[in-house]
Structure 1
Amino acid sequence: MGFNPMHLGTTLLARKLVVRAARTESKGASLGSKAPHFELPEPLTGKVWKLDDFEPYPALLVMFVCNHCPFVKHLKKAIVKLTNFYMKKGLAVVAISSNSIATHPQDGPQFMAEEAKLLNYPFPYLYDESQDVAREFGAVCTPEFFLFKKDGRRPFELVYHGQFDDSRPSNNVPVSGRDLSRAIDCVLSSQPIPSVQKPSVGCSIKWHPETTL
């Protein structure tokens, strides 16, 4: 049985808010491409995680998020519920924050650890200080979701790079996780992934001031 969005509860229904953060859409990624290598620290525990740690799993969800972005805040509780549900079914999950603390200190490691503890994240929340991992993935916004599948000993391959659902902080669409949960259901049941994948919409990743993209 797939993820039931009704379990998100009425507290996660979208509220009519005015969001002044600039909207950025995720760019098209090459489906079928291999998952980039990463080796990043988890501020909460001090453990260093790398891609190889997830090799035993049939699927891996990589999420680029941060603490301050209203688009991420809008989905945080739903993300926790959705990932809790699918991690019990064999999905591996990791979240990464790549924002510059020079411009957004509230996204720094200390506050990441506090956030992970407060919300009881079931997945590691990693710090990409150099921003190299974000560049390797082609990530440009938060939240941004990359879903990979793995067949046997073959490398993880990208099968979904789309939105969580249609809900935004500034509309009245209930948070459901529909788009992402459908993709995960397909991966875990070895079914074809939907070919239509709507881009994520969120805040731009906050690059270091000296960075030119």
Structure 2
Amino acid sequence: MASVTITVTSGPVTTSLLPPARSATTLRNNCCSLLPLSPGLSYRRARRRNNVAASTKLVVRAARTESKGVSLGSRAPDFELEEPLTGNIWKLEDFESYPALLVMFICNHCPFVKHLKKDIVKLTDFYMKKGLGVVAISSNSVVTHPQDGPVFMAEDARNFNYPFPYLYDHSQNVARDYGAVCTPEFYLFKKDGRRPFELVYHGQFDDSRPSNNVGVNGRDLSMAIDCVLSGQPLPSNQKPSVGCSIKWHPEGNV
């Protein structure tokens, strides 16, 4: 888990993770990034802190997580989840007719997901027209992150014109069944006749991250999809997806 040190001085609050224009930040529990507040509020808070001490250092634990722990060749776990936008219930068996299925664990607030969101829509729309089945699932707790709840999921799906169903995993059991630990996280399964879906790719979208200045191109995931749809083997040395940790329900809150 990464650490970042923030120094509050008599000037603006600064952080090495964000450009100067967005240096005013608030620290959110269990979040993988520093999210912006209004500059005025941040500066007022900084001035109040400066009345107590000339300089204060805060160490923040950033929950940056890599996908891991899922074996290639494993079967796709069943699910039965509601789509907040339509109220429809979707099951794994609804995708049985597709030659391949992409299961994505995403959410509304995660900066890693926001960084890729428009390109995820473009990529999935392109490959769905070529026969790929696609479904997105949010498993984040609404207890800790209400902005990731069903009402806001429906708004997100509508605003970004998601071509795939965006389902809510309230119990978080589906995330556990898949071994999902972060957002975004991508699972690509292939179908061979009547055989169950088999995992062939569990890796990143591409090398781009919110702060590494690498352009988004979807290269890793698109190459994997191309291989599956054309019947070609996929490499086993797959780079893990990187993102925010899934926000699990606090104990006793389900």
Which deviations, in whole Å up to 9, do the C-alpha atoms of 1:162-194 show, x marking residues without a partner? 000000001110000000000000000000112
| RMSD, matched Cα | 1.2
> In structure 1, how many angstroms separate the alpha carbons of the residues matched to 2:160 and 2:217?
18
> Which of the numbers 146, 151, 166 marks the counterpart of 1:110?
151
Alignment correspondent of 1:198: 239
> In structure 2, how many angstroms separate the alpha carbons of the residues matched to 1:154 and 1:200?
27
Structure 2: tracts of 5 or more residues without a match: 1-15, 19-32, 35-61
> In structure 2, how many angstroms separate the alpha carbons of the residues matched to 1:144 and 1:205?
10
> In structure 2, how many angstroms separate the alpha carbons of the residues matched to 1:73 and 1:67?
7
Where 2:133 maps in the other structure, the secondary structure is strand
> Which of the numbers 200, 206, 222 marks the counterpart of 1:181?
222
Partner amino acid for 2:75? K
Alignment correspondent of 1:154: 195
Which deviations, in whole Å up to 9, do the C-alpha atoms of 1:88-108 show, x marking residues without a partner? 000000000000000000000
**Percent identical across equivalent pairs?**
82
> Which of the numbers 120, 131, 135 marks the counterpart of 1:79?
120
Between structures 1 and 2, the one with greater strand share: 2
Alignment correspondent of 2:102: 61
> Which of the numbers 75, 78, 89 marks the counterpart of 2:130?
89
1:62–1:145: 8 Å Cα contact kept in structure 2? yes
Which deviations, in whole Å up to 9, do the C-alpha atoms of 1:33-81 show, x marking residues without a partner? 0000000000000000000000000000000000000000000000000
> In structure 2, how many angstroms separate the alpha carbons of the residues matched to 1:70 and 1:17?
12
> In structure 1, how many angstroms separate the alpha carbons of the residues matched to 2:245 and 2:210?
15
| Range 71-80 or range 189-198, more displaced | 189-198
> Which of the numbers 79, 83, 87 marks the counterpart of 1:38?
79
Indicate yes or no: 2:209 matched with 1:164.
no
Q: TM-score w.r.t. structure 1 length?
A: 0.90
1:135-154 equivalences under 5 Å are 135-154=176-195
Structure 1: tracts of 5 or more residues without a match: 1-15
> In structure 1, how many angstroms separate the alpha carbons of the residues matched to 2:215 and 2:101?
26
1:17–1:169: 8 Å Cα contact kept in structure 2? no
Deviation beyond 3 Å, 4+ runs, structure 1: none
**Structure with bigger gyration radius:** 2
Higher relative contact order (CA 8 A, sep 6+): 1
Indicate yes or no: 2:93 matched with 1:52.
yes
> In structure 2, how many angstroms separate the alpha carbons of the residues matched to 1:174 and 1:106?
27
Alignment correspondent of 2:28: none
1:142–1:204: 8 Å Cα contact kept in structure 2? yes
- How far did residue 29 of structure 1 move? 1.0
Count of residue correspondences: 196
